Amino acid sequence: MILSEEREIVLITAKKALAEGLVRLSFGNFSVYDPKTGYICITPSGIDYSELYPEDIAVIDIEGNEIAGKHKPSIEKAMHIEIYKSRQDSLAICHTHSTYATAWACTAEELPVLVAELASRTGKSIPKVPYFEPGSDLLAQAAAKALKKSDVALLSNHGIIAVGKTMKLAYANALITEEGAMVAYLASRIGRTIEIE
């Protein structure tokens, strides 16, 4: 099986995200880029992550042509491609629909960076991409632009996108953003929040 190790990494990450509540069913998407072949291993479209096997992970080239896999690649393949083209230091992407981060993405407010773990990864602010239809070229271009100077961005009314040099780092960025979003919400209910200087 072509790129079996990379496909296994994508599969394990998708199942982990499902177990940890960062995604549900087949929502969100995950990918790794292999610079040797120029291929991207990405979750398929519309298949529940609990039912995935390594051979279900789609393989596409950097132009979006299908190379391998039993199913169509994620409808967000254009977003992953654009990000890999603009962030050559990033070899993995996690797009999640985690509850608290998505809630902040559905507001006109910025997600305040209140916890040190998040600040060390994002700095004092997290960019927010305007709403564009999922799977559209407009969303792909806007997400890639937002991630030029950040490893995490909120997608308005949609979710978050996180990148990393490895899948482990990309996943940690997504998970810590969700944790930071939850803390920001809870802290705002308690009283006046203290932002990191």
Among all residues, which ones are annotated catalytic? 76
Map tokens 């072509």 to a residue: 2
Q: Which of 117, 3, 121 is nearest to 68 (CA)?
A: 3
Q: Could you tell me which residues come within 8 angstroms of residue 77 by beta carbon, excluding any fewer than 6 positions away?
A: 40, 42, 60, 64
Q: What is the dihedral of CA 9, 12, 13, 16, to 10 degrees?
A: -160
* Tokens representing residue 63 in the block: 């132009």
CA distances, 9 to each of 130, 166, 168 (Å): 30, 10, 9
